[in-house]
Structure 1
Amino acid sequence: MLAELLGFPPQVLFGQLLLGLINGAFYAVLSLGLAVIFGLLNIVNFAHGALYMLGAFASYFLLVVLGIGYWGALILAPVMVGSAGILIERFLLRRLSGIDHLYGLLLTFGLAIVIEGLFVKLYGASGIPYPTPEALKGGVNLGFMFLPWYRGWVVVAALAVCLFTWWLFERTRIGAYLRAGTENPRLLQAFGVNVPLLTTLAYGYGVALAGFAGVLAAPITQVNPLMGSNLIIVVFAVVVIGGMGSIMGAVVTGIAMGVIEGLTKVFWPEASATVIFAVMAVVLILRPAGLFGRTA
C-alpha cells in the first residue's frame, strides 16, 4: 500500500484522511454560507464564526433546557440562528446598504466580538460536553481503520446540505431571482419581486448554514464560546481560494483543503497549521479571483 511504501502505518494515513474529510465538511458548510452571503449581498460576514458557535449553544440549550434531542436540535437550532440573522440584516446591515462594504465588515466584526464576549462572560472559555446521539454511537471496523458512525454522518449530512444549497441557488427560480437581484435590483422590483425580502432571507439562510455546522460540531469539539473564532480565519481562506461568492468553489475547496490539511499532518506536521494559507497565497498570485471565481 501507499502508506507502507512511504513508511507510515495505514491506520495513521487513513485516520488523518478521515479527520481531514471531517474538517473539510465543516469548512465546506461554513464557507458555503459565507459565499452565499457575499455573492448575493456583497457582505463580508465576519460574524459567521460567532453564529456557528451560536448554533452549537442553541443545540445545547434545546437539549438541556427543553429536553429536545439531537435530531430536533438539528432542525430547530439552524432555524433559530437563521432568525437571528434575519433580524441582524433587517435592523443593522440594511442601514448600511449603498455605502462602502467596509462598514458591513466592521459591523459584523463588532457583532462577533460582542456575541463571543457575552458567552465567554456567561460560560467561560472551557468547553461544555455534548453527548453523541444514541443512534450514532459506536462505529465500524473497515480493516485499515475504525470509522465512528457519528463522524461518517457529519460528512454525509454536510455534503447533502451543500448539494441542496447548490441546487437551490443555481437551478431554481428563487436562485435566479437572487442572482438577478444582485445585478439589477431595480429592474427585478419592476417585475413585482420583493428584492429586500429576498436578500434578507438569503442572509438568514447563509447564517443558518453556520448554525447547522455548529450543531454537527457540538458532539465532536464540545460547545465552546471560542469555537467560531478558532475556525473563521481558516474558512475565510477557503472562500478566497475557491473564489468569493462561488457556491461550487466553496464546497469543492472546503473539502479539498480539509483533506490537504489532514495529509500535511502525516507528512509534515509542522506545516499543517499554515498549509491552507500557503495554498491561498499561491492561488492569489496565479489566479486572483480564486479557483472558481469570475475574472473581471
Structure 2
Amino acid sequence: MAFFLDINLFALFGQLLIGLINGSFYALLALGLAIIFGLLKIINFSQGALYMLGAFAAWMGLNYLGLNYWWALILVPLAVGAFGIVLERILIRPIANEDHLYSLLLTFGIALVLQGLFTQWFGSSGLSYAMPEELKGGTRLPFMYLPNYRAWIIVFSLVVCAGTWFMIEKTRLGAYLRAGTENPHLMQAFGINVPLIVTLTYGFGVGLAGLAGVLAAPVYSVSPDMGSNILIVVFAIVVIGGMGSIGGAIFTGLAMGIVEGLTKYFYPEASNTVIFLVMVLVLLIKPAGLFGKEA
C-alpha cells in the first residue's frame, strides 16, 4: 500500500505520454520496415536516415521555401518516397535476388552516406523547427497537462497505422501486393506489373519514415544523428513483433513505447535497455516474434 501512495500520478502519466509519443514514432518506422521486409524481403537499414531526411526536408522547406508544417506533412513523405523509389530502381533492384545480407549492407552504406552528407552541410548540432500555431498550447486534465501537439502526434500516427494495416490486409490492392511478392510469375501471367508494385511498395515504406520525420521535427531537434539513434530500437521492435508482421509492428511499437515510459518512471537506469531485454526474452520463447510465423 505504501508503494502505491508514493506514486506521483502527474510524473507517471507524464512518462506514459512520452512513452506513447515515442511509441507512435516507433510504430510508424517499424511499420515501414515491416512492409519493406514482409512484402519485398529487403532489410532496409536506411530507414533511420530517411526519417532524418524527412525532418531535414521539413526544416529546409520552412526556412528556404516558406513551406509550412501542413504542406510539409503532405509533400515531404511524397518527396522521401520518390527518393526511395530512385534508390530502389538504381541500387537495390540489381541485388534483389541476392542474399538478404547484401541489401542490409547496401542500405547501411546508404544511411552512412546520408548521415555524413548532412553532418557536413549542417553540422552535428540540432536545429529547431517551429511548431504549427494551430497546435500550440494544451489541455489541463485532472491528472496531467496534455500538449496539443503531442496529442496530435499520437492520434495522427494511429490513424495512419490503422489505415495502412487496413489497406494491406483487407483491400484488393493489398491482396495484389501480397500476391505479387509471394508469386510474381503468376501475377505477371495475369498482366500485373510486378516490378512497379515492388517499386511503389518500397517508396511507400520509406515515405512512412519521411512522415515520421516531419512529425518529429517540432518535438526533437533536427540533427543528422536522429535517425541512427532510433533505428536500432526500431529494429528490435520489429524483431519482437515478428519480421514482416504489419499488425505486429504497429502493436509492438506502441507497446514498447509505453513499456519504455513506465521504466523511465520506476527504474530510469534500465529505460535504455528494457526494449532489448524484452527482445531477448521473446526470442528465447518465440523466435519468430510475437506475431511472426514460423518458417
TM range (shorter): over 0.9
Please list every run of at least 4 consecutive aligned residues from structure 1 whose deviation after the TM superposition is greater than 3 angstroms.
Answer: none
**1:1-296 equivalent positions in 2, closer than 5 A:** 5=4, 7-296=6-295
For 1:25, the aligned partner's letter is S
Give me the identity figure in percent.
Answer: 63
SS class of match (1:224): coil
For 2:207, the aligned partner's letter is A
Summarize deviations over 1:160-194 as a string: whole Å, max 9, x none.
11011001111111111111122111011000000
* Residue segments in structure 1 that go unaligned for 5+ positions in a row: none
Q: 2: distance between equivalents of 1:258 and 1:183?
A: 32
1:31 and 1:235 in contact (8 A); partners too: yes
* Residue segments in structure 2 that go unaligned for 5+ positions in a row: none
> Shift of residue 226 of structure 1?
0.7
Q: 2: distance between equivalents of 1:4 and 1:201?
A: 53
> Shift of residue 84 of structure 1?
0.2
Q: 2: distance between equivalents of 1:126 and 1:174?
A: 43
TM-score calculated relative to the size of structure 2:
0.98
Summarize deviations over 1:117-169 as a string: whole Å, max 9, x none.
00001111111000110000000100211000000000011001101100111
> Shift of residue 64 of structure 1?
1.1
> Shift of residue 80 of structure 1?
0.5
1:10 and 1:144 in contact (8 A); partners too: yes
SS class of match (1:211): helix
> Shift of residue 4 of structure 1?
7.3
SS class of match (2:227): coil
Q: 2: distance between equivalents of 1:40 and 1:107?
A: 18
For 1:14, the aligned partner's letter is F
Q: 1: distance between equivalents of 2:126 and 2:265?
A: 27
Q: 2: distance between equivalents of 1:3 and 1:143?
A: 22
Q: Aligned pair in 2 of structure 1 residues 265, 6: CA closer, same or farther (>3 Å)?
A: farther
Q: Aligned pair in 2 of structure 1 residues 3, 154: CA closer, same or farther (>3 Å)?
A: farther
SS class of match (1:169): helix
- Number of residue pairs matched by the alignment: 295
Q: 1: distance between equivalents of 2:240 and 2:121?
A: 36
For 1:204, the aligned partner's letter is G
1:49 and 1:210 in contact (8 A); partners too: yes
Summarize deviations over 1:181-230 as a string: whole Å, max 9, x none.
22111011000000000000000000000000000000000211110000
Q: Aligned pair in 2 of structure 1 residues 6, 241: CA closer, same or farther (>3 Å)?
A: farther
For 2:236, the aligned partner's letter is A
7-16 or 253-262: bigger deviation: 7-16
1:54 and 1:81 in contact (8 A); partners too: yes
TM-score calculated relative to the size of structure 1:
0.98
1:31 and 1:251 in contact (8 A); partners too: yes
SS class of match (2:228): coil
1:77 and 1:211 in contact (8 A); partners too: yes
Q: 2: distance between equivalents of 1:124 and 1:7?
A: 44
Q: 2: distance between equivalents of 1:206 and 1:4?
A: 44
1:3 and 1:10 in contact (8 A); partners too: no
SS class of match (1:293): coil
For 1:137, the aligned partner's letter is K
Q: 2: distance between equivalents of 1:65 and 1:233?
A: 32
